[in-house]
Amino acid sequence: MNKNLLFIFVRNPELGKVKTRLAQSIGDNTALEVYKFLLEKTKKITSNLDYDRAIYYSEKIRNNDIWKKNKYQKFQQEGDDLGIRMKNAFKNSFDSGYEKVLIIGSDIYDLTPSHIDEAFKKLDSNDVVIGPAIDGGYYLLGMKRLHTTIFKNKEWGTSSVREDTLSDLQKVNVHLLQELNDVDVIEDIENHPAFQQFL
């Protein structure tokens, strides 16, 4: 067993349930196409990494989708809010014997394998690694043991998440990766060459 695990939180790609803020500008159908495009990109950058990988589905586990069972473990997210769901997934990972665990989302088009490699490497000398998103959240979180406080008392999906998370981690070493843009609203894609096909 590999001692490093990367897990990915995904939404089941269903009409009207993904990229809802983006859909206000481009409609539900196109928003779904954008999300499927982002899922394919996430698969592309993660499918050949030298780490164990897992998919955590928002609604239900799908066996016949783009995430092949021989490459990705499959789980369902559990909990009432994003913080509880992330905490439970990290706990599950550590309970399974993994020593370094990373979560990423599925809406960071500019994420590369080197960001993920750097995150695992920086955990050798840091307690926590965070990939800061331009909107004030984060696109990656990695740790070597469960820090439960960072999953509580957060306004998930708002610009204060990263700042509040860092204030919870003042007593440990934190490494920040390159800041990247996640795709939530029309402004995130309107000037990006990869997304012109949807506009």
Q: What is the pLDDT of residues 165-193, one digit of tens each?
A: 999 999 999 999 999 999 999 999 999 99
Residue 108's domain comprises 4-198
Nearest one of 35, 40, 37, 41 to 58, comparing CA atoms: 35
CB-CB neighbours of 26 under 10 Å:
18
- CB within 8 A of 11, min separation 6: which ones? 17, 18, 35, 57, 58, 59, 106
Quickly list DSSP for 60-96: ---SSSSS-TTT-EEEE--SSSHHHHHHHHHHHHHHT
pLDDT at residue number 186: 95
Structure tokens at 11: 């939404």
pLDDT at residue number 157: 84
pLDDT at residue number 17: 94
pLDDT at residue number 2: 87
Q: Chunked in runs of 10, what are the mean pLDDT values of the chain (199 residues)? A: 94 94 96 97 95 96 94 96 97 98 96 97 98 94 97 90 95 97 93 94
Domain count, the chain: 1
pLDDT at residue number 110: 96
pLDDT at residue number 103: 98
Residue 10 belongs to domain with CATH number: 3.90.550.10
